[in-house]
Amino acid sequence: MSATLKIKDAAVADVGNGMVELSAMVGTERLWYIVPASHAPTELRGDAFAIAGLLPAMRLGIPLEIDSSLPVDPLLLANLERQQHIFALWGPGFRQPLKRVPILARAEAAQSRGKKMSFFSGGVDGTYTLLEAPHVDEAVFVRGVDFQLDNPIYDEAFKRNEAWLAERNIPLISMTSNARWVGKAYGFGWSTYFGGGLSSFAHVLGAGTMYIASGHTWRELWPDGSHPLTDPLWSSSAVNIIHHARDVTRADKIVRIAQQPGALEILRVCWQDKGFNCGECEKCLRTMVLLRLLGLQSPNFPVLSDVSAVAKLVPGDRSEAIFVKEAIALAEEVNDQPLLAALRKSLSKWEWRGILRDTEKAWLGGSVKKLLGRSSPKASADN
């Protein structure tokens, strides 16, 4: 193993169809971003790659060394130092040994290209932020985040999103990246890596401001890949990263979205690569539950008439459990007894599973778990 995690061999190449690929080696992995030529970097810089390389270097416990041909913005470097303090103490929360490491880089200020952008895939959080953020010049839809790189559904979703945004005079930018898989190669699930991953896209595109839509409220403060504490620390003097709308629950976001003509017609939340929305996974069910409770319908989801799938659902982590709790509060409010019972059953399964797991740990010292060789449910979703 080398003594440092090196970022080097950066290159820009024309890949046809008006697209340009920016790439560099991040340790042993080539990280690439394909962006429209109109959004290609005006100079080769190390900002995006430094962000992408920080957590891998911290996990390996070796310095992050950015080739001197790739300058890094001084404010970003200062922010990455602060970022390390937080992530090092969050390591146990991520079940990752994260150590603070030196960053070796040539500092040189980045130049702002000024546009305000927001990530947009047609999901609940991104759509809400697009509607509520002060002003968005361009939306960005990334292939390779919630889709496998070769999933053709992306093209269909892009067309629908682009048409909906066109009515609002907001252009939709397409970009593709393997950042999620680079994180995975270094042992990070996207849920740990995504704040940095998304921010690296912002730096590649030269956004003046980039909004990252919050997935939770201020009440959920546990270590998370995208967080109101850490997202702003991926900013440089040219790129301002804003963690947006931490004060709104998912249900309230859907209410706001539903007021916009056509928004529920493009709603897509599924990460399963099984059609536009599979209608079966936790994210789909979570959305279908809220649509029913709010008396709304989207042509992209089956109507939730049979609640047995909800009752059978066991939240995979505390993040998913929070959504069940929020839905329970709403079901109580609208007095949907069948769905309320199903949601309570789902939450009860989660709670009893936790009690059983911790009972074994507290009284038997985790020996049964070790014997079975199975890991306990993770503290946060890691896909």
Interface positions with other proteins (CB under 8 A): 85-86, 89-90, 92-93, 217-219, 221-223, 228-229, 246-247, 318, 348, 351-352, 354-355, 358-359, 361-363, 365
Structure tokens given for 374: 């199975």
The residue among 207 and 330 lying less far from other proteins, judged by its C-beta, is: 330
Instruction: Provide the minimum distance between the beta carbon of 45 and other proteins in the complex, in angstroms, as a whole number.
Output: 28
Instruction: Provide the minimum distance between the beta carbon of 361 and other proteins in the complex, in angstroms, as a whole number.
Output: 6
Instruction: Provide the minimum distance between the beta carbon of 357 and other proteins in the complex, in angstroms, as a whole number.
Output: 9
Give the residue among 201, 180, 182 at the shortest CA–CA distance from 191.
Answer: 180
Please state, in angstroms and as integers, the Cα–Cα distance from residue 374 to each residue in 81, 368, 370, 371, following that order: 36, 9, 7, 8
The residue among 246 and 345 lying less far from other proteins, judged by its C-beta, is: 246
Instruction: Provide the minimum distance between the beta carbon of 100 and other proteins in the complex, in angstroms, as a whole number.
Output: 10
Angstrom distance (rounded) from CA 304 to CA 296: 11
The residue among 97 and 302 lying less far from other proteins, judged by its C-beta, is: 97
The residue among 277 and 319 lying less far from other proteins, judged by its C-beta, is: 319
Instruction: Provide the minimum distance between the beta carbon of 177 and other proteins in the complex, in angstroms, as a whole number.
Output: 28
DSSP secondary structure of 12-62: EEEEETTEEEEEEEETTEEEEEEEEGGG--SS--SHHHHHHHHHHHHHHTS
Residue for token pair 């040994």: 97
The residue among 179 and 347 lying less far from other proteins, judged by its C-beta, is: 347
Residue for token pair 């008006």: 18
Structure tokens given for 191: 């849920």
The residue among 233 and 267 lying less far from other proteins, judged by its C-beta, is: 233
Angstrom distance (rounded) from CA 151 to CA 47: 29
Instruction: Provide the minimum distance between the beta carbon of 381 and other proteins in the complex, in angstroms, as a whole number.
Output: 15
| Helical axes 250-258 vs 318-334, angle rounded to 10° | 60
